[in-house]
Amino acid sequence: MRDFCDIDPDTIIAMVEERDVSCEFRNLILASITFLFIAGCGGSVGNDGDPTPPVTDELVTITSNNATTVAGIVAQQVLEDDLFGALANTGLPVVSAGSGAAMALSSLIPAPLPANMLAAQSTLQDCSEGGTVDLSVSISNPFTISNGDEFGFEFDTCDNGTGTVLHGGLVITITGFEGDPTGETFLLGMSMELSAFQVTQDGDVTGASGTISFEINSAPPITTITVSATALTTTHNGETEFMSSMTITITTNDGTGSVEVDTSFRISSPSLGGDVIVGTSISMQSSGDGYPFMGELFIQAAGNTAIVFIVLDGDTVRLEIDIDGDGAPDEVVDVTWDELLAAADAA
């Protein structure tokens, strides 16, 4: 089998197109594979793939001093910052779904697979600029997608020549499929287990450990992707975060180019000084590469303190800050998206 680290994206796409699946299906079979990271994520957190315990299990208290920082860190999560950018530059073909989201690493499935690779099989490959990747495949039919198909990758400082290094384990398992893989309408379920998976670029290390479930419903021009995880441990440049009860639903419209995101999760982070619970009360909406222009988040903290995060337009966000927990805003602050993200970076 060819070393896929040595193959340029156009060659990979040509290889995948030889399989009896449509272009849309090819692009979406691993759609959202990086969306599980909803941002600010990263790193090596053990070797067994099980998330480490939460950084803390106590909710932070919202104050006048920390409200902008808390909102900025949540904004990073919603905008899929940090890890998305790192994965988007690994040299693997990435499908963009707007709002900066790197939605797929569709090249990870090397295809067409040899006809004799119908049972569990493993091969160790050299990466183009150093390191190795151990590829294991267990499939029922090399020409289509079947329930239970499994694709495993164990990267050992794999340098693909684009300035990034991959390390750690990644296992993708097909958990359900309905429809015609040669067409554009289908329902695909899969799970992905990350074991100390990380990407290093320009000295920045990002990655994650945990198991994530995906459901992709393609009915052109609408595609809906649901990502969920019970627990996910992430680290960026040494700072560990823990996310739990995570659900993300992304709806894209190829006809209009619009993207809608609904999400809920609990995040624990040293930068927050504790936990917050986040949920969308109005879908976050974006188009193209700009920031969301519509949407509303509710950020719940200790003692009923909270932030209502209201997107006014593609430039500005309004924070209605409830400091005493009585359900009414005590302060109202308008900030730009850039100011929010800068506050998060400074934390």
Please give the average per-residue pLDDT across 269-296, as a whole number: 91
How many residues in the chain?
Answer: 347
Tokens 């000084």 found at: 273
Question: Are the C-beta atoms of residues 165 and 42 closer than 8 Å to each other?
Answer: no
Structure-model confidence comparison of residues 54 and 219, the more confident one: 219
Q: Where are the beta strands (DSSP E) in the chain?
A: 121-126, 132-138, 150-159, 164-179, 186-201, 204-219, 222-236, 239-253, 258-269, 274-287, 294-300, 306-311, 316-322, 331-336
Q: Identify which has the larger pLDDT, 39 or 30.
A: 30
pLDDT confidence tier of residue 8, bands split at 50, 70 and 90: very low
Residue 333 token pair? 């602050």
Q: What is the residue-averaged pLDDT of the chain?
A: 74
In the prediction, which pLDDT does 311 show?
Answer: 96
Quick check: 260 pLDDT over 60?
Answer: yes
Domain positions in the chain are 4-346
Residue 303: other Cβ atoms inside 10 A: 12
Quote the pLDDT of residue 288. Answer: 75
Q: Are 334 and 341 in contact (CB under 8 A)?
A: no
The pLDDT, as a whole number, for residue 181 is 65
**Nearest in space to 25 (alpha carbons), one of 37, 17, 33, 14:** 17
Residues 6+ apart with CB under 8 A from 216: 28, 29, 31, 32, 186, 187, 188, 189, 190, 223, 224, 225
Contacts of residue 98, defined as CB under 8 A and 6 or more positions apart, other chains included, come to 252, 257, 258, 259, 286, 287, 288, 289
- pLDDT value at 331 more than 70: yes
Spatial contact of 120 and 138, defined as CB atoms under 8 Å apart: yes
Q: Please report the pLDDT score of residue 60 as a whole number.
A: 96
Percent of the chain with pLDDT over 70: 71
Residue 249 has what pLDDT? Answer: 86
pLDDT tens-place string over residues 167-190: 999 888 889 888 876 677 888 888
Identify the bridge partners of residue 188 per DSSP, sorted by sequence position: 177, 216
From the number of C-beta atoms within 10 Å of its C-beta (0-12, 13-18, 19+), residue 42 rates as buried
> What's the pTM?
0.74
Residue pair 166/133 in contact by the 8 Å Cβ criterion: yes
- The whole-angstrom separation of Cα 223 and Cα 219 is 6
Q: Does an H or E element contain 154, and which?
A: strand 150-159
pLDDT interval class at 90 (50, 70, 90): very low
Beta bridge pairs of residue 213: 191, 228
For residue range 220-236, what is the model confidence (pLDDT) as tens digits?
899 888 888 898 888 87
Of the segments 1-10, 50-59, 245-254, which one has the largest average pLDDT value? Answer: 245-254
| Rounded Cα gap, residues 237 and 226, in angstroms | 28
Going by pLDDT thresholds of 50, 70 and 90, the confidence category of residue 9 is: very low
Residue partners of 116: CB distance under 8 A and separation at least 6:
none
Q: Where does the pLDDT of residue 194 fall: very low under 50, low under 70, confident under 90, or very high at 90 and above?
A: confident
Question: What per-residue confidence (pLDDT) applies to 117?
Answer: 43
**Which stretches of 18-59 are DSSP H helices?**
23-28
Task: Count CA atoms closer than 13 A to 173's CA, side-chain side.
Answer: 11
Report whether pLDDT(14) > 60.
no
Token pair listed for 28: 């979406």
- Summary count for the chain: helices (H), strands (E): 5, 14
Contact 186, 177 (CB under 8 A): yes
209 vs 11: which has the higher pLDDT: 209
In angstroms, the CA 299 to CA 68 distance is 12
Q: For residue 142, what pLDDT is reported?
A: 67
Q: Are 32 and 103 in contact (CB under 8 A)?
A: yes
Residue 86, pLDDT above cutoff 90: no
Residue 154 has pLDDT above 60, yes or no: yes
Q: What is the DSSP letter of 73?
A: H
| CB burial string 218-240: b at 16+ within 10 A, e below | beeeebebbbbbebbbbbbeeeb
Closest CA to 169 of 200, 146, 192: 192
Between residues 255 and 22, which one has the greater pLDDT?
255
Spatial neighbors of 86 by CB under 8 A, at least 6 apart, are: 42, 164, 199, 201, 204, 206
